[in-house]
C-alpha cells in the first residue's frame, strides 16, 4: 500500500508526551507499506482490533491502545491516507467517519 502523510506520524511521535508512540507507529507504517489490502476483511485478518468505519475509514489501536490512528483507504488504488493520530482524549473530540 502507498501511505500518504507519513509526516503526520513523525510530527506526532516527536510531540512531548507522545514519544513512546514512535516504535509502534514506525512498525505500523512498515506493515501498512508492505500490505496488499483488498478489502476491510484483509485488514481485520492482520489487525483484529482495528475498527472498520463508514467512508472507507479504519481506526487502528497504537501502542497498546494508548493512541488512535484513523486512516482512509482507497482499495482500488492501494492508497492509505493518514487522517488523524492522537490520544484517546483527542480521538473522542473528532468524528472519525468524516475527518
Look up the domain containing 84 and give its range. 2-91
pLDDT band at 69 (very low <50, low <70, confident <90, very high): very high
pLDDT by residue (tens digit) across 16-66?
A: 999 999 999 999 999 999 999 999 999 999 999 999 999 999 999 999 889
Q: How many folded domains does the chain comprise? A: 1
Q: Determine the Cα–Cα distance for residues 53 and 96; give it in Å rounded to an integer.
A: 8
**Close Cβ partners of 75 (under 8 Å, ≥ 6 residues apart):** 37, 38, 39, 56
pTM: 0.94
**Close Cβ partners of 21 (under 8 Å, ≥ 6 residues apart):** 12, 13, 62, 63, 66, 67, 85
The CATH number assigned to the domain holding 74 equals 3.30.2310.20
Report if residue 96 sits inside a domain: no
Report if residue 23 sits inside a domain: yes
Report if residue 12 sits inside a domain: yes
Amino acid at each position: 500500500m502507498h501511505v500518504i502523510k507519513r509526516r503526520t506520524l513523525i510530527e506526532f511521535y516527536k510531540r512531548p508526551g507522545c514519544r513512546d508512540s514512535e516504535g509502534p507507529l514506525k512498525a505500523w507504517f512498515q506493515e501498512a507499506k508492505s500490505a496488499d489490502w483488498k478489502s476491510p476483511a484483509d485488514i481485520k485478518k492482520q489487525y483484529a482490533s482495528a475498527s472498520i468505519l463508514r467512508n472507507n475509514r479504519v481506526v487502528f489501536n497504537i501502542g497498546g491502545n494508548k493512541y488512535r490512528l484513523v486512516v482512509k483507504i482507497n482499495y482500488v488504488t492501494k492508497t492509505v491516507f493518514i487522517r488523524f493520530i492522537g490520544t484517546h482524549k483527542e480521538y473522542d473530540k473528532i468524528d472519525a467517519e468524516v475527518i
